């Protein structure tokens, strides 16, 4: 049984030209929408890993490298509210401890603009009965792990083969 997986792949150049669009399409990426250096993917596959691997392979055939996946782990209260279908005020009350069980994750920055790790917020939501309507946690974790590996490979450059065994 196949599922349509949606994610965004980051390419190894700042802009995808019209000629690049044609190469991407011909390489099998007709289920993507290019925007800047990103491909918004809607890929049918049996597993998310299969979808990611096929997009990487198709991109290489078109002459591109996928250097990351857009995984937004840092979120604001507004983004949390949007993701879970709640109001800003209800999430703010959880954050302040005026509603709910308390223990809402702390922001990762100490400035006035609160950024939270989605992975921590999601764990809190799930622990307190608000995670049932969220996407599969295993898929989110796989996307984050693939993003880290792709970014590490791009950062390491020629040194990647020597480092790759660390991920095995």
> Is 92 contained in some domain?
yes
- Rounded (5°) CA angle 144-147-148: 90
Residues 91 and 59 occupy one common structural domain: no
Q: What is the pLDDT of residue 139?
A: 83
Residues 150 and 116 occupy one common structural domain: no
Residues 140 and 119 occupy one common structural domain: no
Residues 10 and 61 occupy one common structural domain: yes
Q: What is the pLDDT of residue 138?
A: 75
Residues 88 and 119 occupy one common structural domain: yes
DSSP string, 107-164: PS--SSS--EEHHHHHHHHHHTT--TTSPPHHHHHHHHHHHHHHHHHHHHGGGHHHHH
Domain CATH code at residue 15? 3.30.70
Which stretches of the chain drop beneath a pLDDT of 70?
A: 110-112, 132-133, 135-137
- H/E element holding 93? helix 88-96
Q: Count the domains in the chain.
A: 2
Q: What is the pLDDT of residue 54?
A: 98
> Is 167 contained in some domain?
no
Tally Cβ neighbours within 10 Å of residue 61. 13
Residues 105 and 85 occupy one common structural domain: yes
Residues 141 and 118 occupy one common structural domain: no
Residues 62 and 10 occupy one common structural domain: yes
> Is 148 contained in some domain?
yes
Residues 63 and 142 occupy one common structural domain: yes
Q: What is the pLDDT of residue 53?
A: 98
CA distances from 29 to 48, 52, 62 (A): 16, 12, 9
- Residue ranges making up the domain that contains 81: 74-127
Q: What is the pLDDT of residue 93?
A: 96
Residues 64 and 143 occupy one common structural domain: yes
Residues 40 and 83 occupy one common structural domain: no
């Amino acid at each position: 049984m196949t599922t349509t997986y949606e994610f965004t792949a980051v390419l190894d150049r700042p802009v995808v030209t019209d000629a690049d669009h044609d190469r991407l399409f011909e390489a099998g990426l007709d289920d993507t929408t290019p925007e800047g250096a990103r491909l918004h993917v809607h890929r049918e596959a049996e597993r998310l890993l299969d979808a990611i691997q096929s997009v990487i392979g198709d991109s290489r055939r078109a002459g591109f490298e996928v250097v990351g996946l857009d995984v937004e782990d840092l979120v604001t209260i507004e983004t949390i509210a949007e993701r879970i279908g709640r109001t800003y005020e209800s999430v703010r009350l959880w954050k302040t401890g005026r509603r709910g069980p308390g223990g809402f994750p702390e922001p990762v920055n100490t400035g006035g603009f609160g950024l939270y790790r989605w992975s921590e917020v999601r764990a809190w939501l799930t622990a307190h009965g608000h995670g049932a309507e969220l996407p599969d946690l295993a898929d989110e974790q796989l996307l984050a792990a693939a993003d880290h590996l792709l970014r590490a490979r791009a950062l390491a450059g020629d040194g990647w083969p020597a480092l790759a065994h660390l991920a095995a």
